[in-house]
Amino acid sequence: MASVAMVVNGKSVTKEVEGRTLLVDFLRNDLRLTGTHVGCDTSQCGACVVHVNGQAVKACTIFAVEADGAEVATIEGQANKDGSLNVIQQAFQDHHGLQCGFCTPGMVMSAAALLKENPKPTEADVRSYLEGNICRCTGYHNIVKAIMAASGQDVTAIAAE
C-alpha cells in the first residue's frame, strides 16, 4: 500500500492505495466520485476523462499514485459555485448533447480541455478532438453543436434540434 495525497475538486484528500489502483478506481471506489465512468478496458471510450493538473487524462490510463500531489478535477466539480450548470454543461443541456448520460462526464471534461486549448474551435477541430470519446446515443451532432455553442459561436445555422 502507498499513501497518496491529491486535491480533488478543490478538496485535499489523503488515502492508502495499492500500487496497482487506477486513478479511475480510486475516484469511484475510494472517493465515491462515481460520475467518472468506465466504459471499456482499453482506454478507447473516454468515459473516464478527468483533468490532472489541468490536462485532460483518461483516468484508466494512470495509477492513483501517479496523481500524488496533483490537482484533479472531475465532473462533480464542474458546476458553478452556486450549483448552476457551467457554460459547457448548460450548452449540453440546451442543445440536447446527451441521451443516456454515460459518456457525458467524459465528453464535458474533454470539451473543457478543448476550449482551454482552442477557444473558438471549428466543427472539424471539435470532431477531431473528440477522437478519444465514444458516444453511442447522439450520433455526435448535438455534442459538436453544444461545444461550439459553449465557445460562444453562433450555431443557429447548424440544423435545428
Partner 1 sequence: MPKDHGIGASDKRREDVRFLTGAGHYTDDIKTYGATTAIFCRSTVAHGIIKSIDTSAAENMPGVLAVFTGADFADVGGNPAGWLINSRDGTPMKEPKRPVLAHGKVRHVGDAYAAVIAETELQARNAAEAIVAEIEELPAIVDMAAGLAGDAFVHDEIGTNQCFDWGWIEDNRAATDAAIKAAPHVTTLELVNNRLVPNAMEPRCSIGNYDAGNDSYVLQTTSQNPHLTRLLISAFVMGIPENKLTVIAPDVGGGFGSKIYHYGEEALVLAAARKIGRPVKWTADRTEAFLTDAHGRDHVTKIELACEKDGTFIAFRTETMANVGAYLSNFSTATPTFLHGTLMAGNYTVPNVYVNVKAVFTNTAPVDAYRGAGRPEATYSIERVIDKAARELGIDPIAIRRKNFVKPDQYPFVSAAGLEYDSGNYDALMDTLEKHIDREGFKARRKESEAKGMLRGLGLNAYIEACGIAPSNLVGVLGSRVGLYDAATVRVNATGNLSVMVGAHSHGQGHETVFPQIVGEMLGIDPQSIDIVHGDTSKIPFGMGTYGSRSLAVCGSAMVRATEKIIAKAKKIAAHMLEASADDVDFKDGQFTVKGTDKSVSFGEVALKAYIPHNFPLEDIEPGLEETAFYDPANFTYPSGAYACEVEVDPDTGKVRVDRFIAVDDFGNIMNPMIVTGQVHGGLGQGIGQALLEGARYDADGQLLSASYMDYTMPRADDLPFYTVDHANGTPCTHNPLGVKGCGEAGAIGSPPTIVNAVVDALQSAGKNVTHIDMPLTPLRVWEAMHKA
What are the residues binding partner 1 (CB under 8 A)?
28-29, 32-42, 44-45, 47, 74-76, 78-79, 85, 89, 92-94, 96, 98-105, 108, 123-124, 126-128, 130-131, 133-145, 158-161
Closest distance to partner 1 from the beta carbon of 58 (Å):
12
Q: Which three cell numbers stand for residue 149?
A: 455553442
CA distances for 30 relative to 13, 17, 22, 38, angstroms: 10, 9, 11, 15
| C-alpha cell at position 15 | 488515502
Least distance in Å: CB of 40 to partner 1?
4
Residue (58 or 69) nearer to partner 1, CB: 58
Task: Say if residues 44 and 29 touch (Cβ distance below 8 Å).
Answer: no
To partner 1, the closest distance from the beta carbon of 48 in angstroms equals 11
CA angle, 112 as apex, 106 and 117 as ends, to 5°?
125
